[in-house]
Amino acid sequence: MAVRKLAPEELQPKSFVFSAETEAFAEQQIAKYPSDRQASAVIALLWKAQEQAGGWLPRKAIEAVAARLDMPDIRVMEVATFYTMFNLEPVGKHFIQFCGTTPCVLRGAGDIKKVLEKRIGEQNHVTADGKFSWLEVECLGACSNAPMVQINDDYYEDLTPENFEKLLDDLAAGRPVKTGSQIGRNRSEPFEAVNTLLDPALYDGSVVGAWRKRFEEQAKPAETGEAHAATASVPGEVKAAKPTAGRAIESDAADTPAKRAKEGEAPIKPVDQKEAADPSRATKVEAKTEGAATPAPQSGKSYVTTPGEGATPASPTTPEAGTPPSQAETRRDGSESKPGVVVDKDNKTS
């Protein structure tokens, strides 16, 4: 992707003021959103400002949009430089976006590109008369009529070097041109013989009627026995997909205001809460030398692990540092489950 940066200072106009038309458009767009969400209209306003500026966005136009929407300049700058629909440098009166993606290339876009280079020059270059510039872009969504270009707001499809040259001649001379397919095709219909959707039944309603009948039959499963078949395999008791061993079990916290209210108990008085929070009245717990205390839960739920996993082992799982492996009482590193190595009298291992 090309670097997207503002045009050089020498190309930037000194000022930009919304025209009456742009201002009316801005009011209409802003009115679509809540009063404190006017920034949502930023793309629409940038688009209109680009149109007013002649097909590109000068710095002053971006700043004018930011002021109109009460946004920081940089926020609008970010939008303008991100979307390739916004041109940051001057373009020709007829700005040609040439599709160079695979379907168009397979249908001859390479020859169209040669015409562009011959007639206009390199892309991002405006002709001396200011009439043309072009840019290669990704798929424009008219692949079935490839190859194609977009010129300003219109598509021109089914191009050949010949009809494209003529199109450029007509645009340069200010003559009217035909948008869409340049070979007389109606939208994206087949341009040769029609080979699909030929069955008259598709158009007399009989095919649709057959489908409807099938749906009606499916809507009566009880008569056909399908309902019984559909539910017969559903077990009455749904079981967990996996055993719960090792999973955290969630339960209500032991004593919460909600639990006390549910069980009809009086809420704890503020004075009692204050006393309970006084650290000087807390029961001292001597530090234990073995094992670690489970930290108290911090949320309204308490979590415990099921037996068998996560429990603190009664003895250390690794031998004391410096103990040779052969003298360690127990090994809990997984090797205890591996078969031992036996060396026979011929010094072979098994």
Residue span binding ligand FES (CB under 6 A) among the ranges 110-118, 120-128, 143-151, 256-264: 143-151
**Considering only residues 44, 139, 172, 177, which one is a binding residue for ligand FES as defined by CB under 6 A?**
139
**Considering only residues 69, 99, 126, 171, which one is a binding residue for ligand FES as defined by CB under 6 A?**
99
Residue span binding ligand FES (CB under 6 A) among the ranges 101-109, 117-125, 176-184, 273-281: 101-109
C-alpha 274/C-alpha 271 separation (Å) is 5
180 binds ligand FES (CB under 6 A): no
Residue span binding ligand FES (CB under 6 A) among the ranges 29-37, 138-146, 167-175, 215-223: 138-146
Residue 226 main-chain phi, psi, to 5 deg: -70, -35
Helix (H) or strand (E) holding 248: strand 248-252
112 binds ligand FES (CB under 6 A): no
Residue 181, helix vs strand vs coil: strand
104 binds ligand FES (CB under 6 A): yes
For residue 9, give every residue at least 6 positions away whose Cβ sits within 8 Å of its Cβ, in sequence order, or none. Answer: none
CB nearer ligand FES, residue 130 or residue 141:
141
**Considering only residues 30, 69, 80, 148, which one is a binding residue for ligand FES as defined by CB under 6 A?**
148
Q: Whole-number minimum distance, CB 100 to ligand FES, in Å?
A: 8
142 binds ligand FES (CB under 6 A): yes
Best CA proximity match to 80, nearest among 94, 96, 100, 60: 60
**Considering only residues 52, 81, 101, 152, which one is a binding residue for ligand FES as defined by CB under 6 A?**
101
90 binds ligand FES (CB under 6 A): no
Cβ atoms of 99 and 122 closer than 8 Å: no
C-alpha 316/C-alpha 313 separation (Å) is 7
151 binds ligand FES (CB under 6 A): no
Tokens 């077990």 correspond to 235
C-alpha 169/C-alpha 151 separation (Å) is 14
**Considering only residues 54, 103, 108, 121, which one is a binding residue for ligand FES as defined by CB under 6 A?**
103
What number of chain residues touch ligand FES (CB under 6 A)? 11
Write out the binding residues for ligand FES, residues 68-87 only, by CB under 6 A.
Answer: none
108 binds ligand FES (CB under 6 A): no
Helix (H) or strand (E) holding 250: strand 248-252
Cβ atoms of 285 and 294 closer than 8 Å: no
146 binds ligand FES (CB under 6 A): yes
Q: How crowded is residue 57: how many other Cβ atoms within 10 Å of its Cβ?
A: 24
Residue 268, helix vs strand vs coil: coil
Q: List beta partners, residue 86.
A: none
CB nearer ligand FES, residue 88 or residue 135:
135
Pairing of the two strands 149-151 and 94-99: antiparallel
Kindly list the residues in this chain that would bind ligand FES in the complex (CB under 6 A). Answer: 99, 101, 103-104, 139-143, 146, 148
